[in-house]
Structure 1
Amino acid sequence: MSRAQCPRCARPLTHCLCQLIPHLSSHTRVLILQHPDETRHALNTARLAALGLANAELRVGEHFPELESELAATGGAAWLLFPGEGAQTVAQLAASATGAPVERLLIVPDGTWRKARRLLYCNPWLAELPRLALEDGLVSRYRLRKAPAAGALSTIEAIVHCLNGLEGTGRFDELLRPFEALIEAQIAAMGEEVYRRNHLRGDAPDE
């Protein structure tokens, strides 16, 4: 028998995160394109990001035909958060901005690398957008899973990094509170001993 869920954060009512989810404003509009498989993920940080940002939207699917015409109305201010040839880093984009804050559209694919590439394949016009990439050396706070590649972050961490870089360091850190609570709850459920045995091994540098 499944446990009752909060209709807003989709967590079990006994572990509702709504009190930890902020309501933050941003000049940057964030559009998260979530692969359908990610809706069943235990963390689903894309949902947390969309709930915590006033200027954010979450769309689920593989094909987004309506979005191409919507992007035409942005006046070229749309960026795709995905590495690729010619991609600018967040720091480079922020340094290029002058004057008043810019109202950008940041499109964030949500899924594994394979699923994110699938989204670009199904929506080829996405691949034509200017790319934004994360800087090297970033470390995820998700301590329960080894990152698939160096510098790989969860969706909510990547969004926070981008918004902090574009609009002010630390302004969006509060968005990570429910994410941290999820991690701590998972560690508590498995027990400290199991966590240390299975997830802290290999922390020492290689000989």
Structure 2
Amino acid sequence: MFHCMEPEAEDVLSPEPQRRSICSNCDRPTRVCLCHALPFPPIQTATRILIVQHPHEARHKLSTTPILNKSLLRASSVTSRRLRRGLSPILDRSPPALYLFPSSASSTTPALHISAVHPSADLVLIAFDATWQHAREMVRASEDFLSEFATRVCLDVDESVGGGSIYDSELILRKEPFAGCVSTMEAVARALRVLEPNGPEIEEKLVGVLREMVRLQAGFLKPVKPRPKLLKKKTEGKEKKEGSVQVIS
């Protein structure tokens, strides 16, 4: 005779957390699905766009690269810490290309402002998708290869001013380190405004998609609170500075 045994507490399996439902078209959670905002068909451009994503950024939920790939017909991306021959068939043929990144004090290659560029046939626009520090490292590691065929270009960036967005504050998902720093999608939109015959229209469409992405995401973002230790150090540093001023006077 078989007896039904009550399972011990440790044998009772807790219900598995339900995975979020993902849209099969835009690859985003259904709660923030962007299909209604994506241009259809994808925007045609004369310029080919290549996004180089840092491995860390490729895992970031708020990366705009996947949305760019779906919005632009001639956009593609690779994941790597540096560009080299054999990584991208697009670049292996050494096409006329621009890589979008500003100059800095340590830059060996000065950046030409993109407004001074004269677009040419088969032009490739390269953008680096990473944190500011990672992007610097990626550019330095890639410049020997890029110097063979590409020109470094930049948008307006002011490193002396705190971060923000070149557009309205509603477009900010993550705080940028300097004024003029933008998301990859914003940077590409601005560049295409200059490079494409119907650039302003393309920029408006891309910014519209980004604005909708931010609007949907805003309801799920938690406000960032300063860490207690950093806040304490900042307060102590301020008090020490004020005390020093009083002694001098």
TM-score range, shorter chain: 0.7 to 0.9
138-147 or 37-46, which moves further after superposition? 138-147
Q: Give the deviation of 1:16 after TM superposition.
A: 1.4
The answer for the alignment partner of 2:74 in structure 1 is 55
Letter in 1 for 2:113: T
The answer for the alignment partner of 2:210 in structure 1 is 179
Whether 2:183 is the aligned partner of 1:154: answer yes
The answer for the alignment partner of 1:30 in structure 2 is 49
Structure 2: runs of 5+ lacking an equivalent: 1-16, 104-108, 159-164, 227-249
Q: Give the deviation of 1:183 after TM superposition.
A: 1.2
Q: Give the deviation of 1:188 after TM superposition.
A: 3.1
Change (3 A) 1:154 1:90: same
Change (3 A) 1:144 1:79: closer
Distance of 1:125 and 1:190 partners within structure 2:
40
Q: Aligned Cα RMSD in Å?
A: 2.8
SS at match of 2:31: helix
Change (3 A) 1:39 1:134: same
Runs of 4+ in 1 over 6 A off after TM superposition: none
Q: Give the deviation of 1:156 after TM superposition.
A: 0.2
Letter in 2 for 1:50: N
Contact residue 80 and residue 126 of structure 1 kept, 8 A = no
**TM-score (structure 1 length as normaliser):** 0.77
Change (3 A) 1:145 1:57: closer
60-69 or 147-156, which moves further after superposition? 60-69
Q: Give the deviation of 1:144 after TM superposition.
A: 4.5
Q: Give the deviation of 1:18 after TM superposition.
A: 2.0
Contact residue 129 and residue 135 of structure 2 kept, 8 A = yes
Distance of 2:151 and 2:91 partners within structure 1:
12
Distance of 1:90 and 1:63 partners within structure 2:
22
Greater helix proportion: 1
Contact residue 83 and residue 145 of structure 2 kept, 8 A = no
> What CA deviation, in whole Å up to 9, does each residue of 1:18-41 have, x standing for no partner?
221111011110000111111232
Q: Give the deviation of 1:57 after TM superposition.
A: 0.5
Contact residue 120 and residue 127 of structure 1 kept, 8 A = no
Distance of 1:107 and 1:90 partners within structure 2:
13
Pairing partner for 1:11 from 28, 34, 56: 28
Q: Give the deviation of 1:70 after TM superposition.
A: 4.8
Change (3 A) 1:182 1:104: same
Distance of 2:220 and 2:65 partners within structure 1:
23
Contact residue 140 and residue 152 of structure 1 kept, 8 A = no
Distance of 2:132 and 2:193 partners within structure 1:
23
Change (3 A) 1:130 1:80: same
The answer for the alignment partner of 1:139 in structure 2 is 166
Structure 1: runs of 5+ lacking an equivalent: 199-207
**TM-score (structure 2 length as normaliser):** 0.66
Aligned pair count reads 189
Structure with the larger RCO, 1 or 2 (CA within 8 Å, 6+ apart)? 1
Contact residue 102 and residue 157 of structure 2 kept, 8 A = no
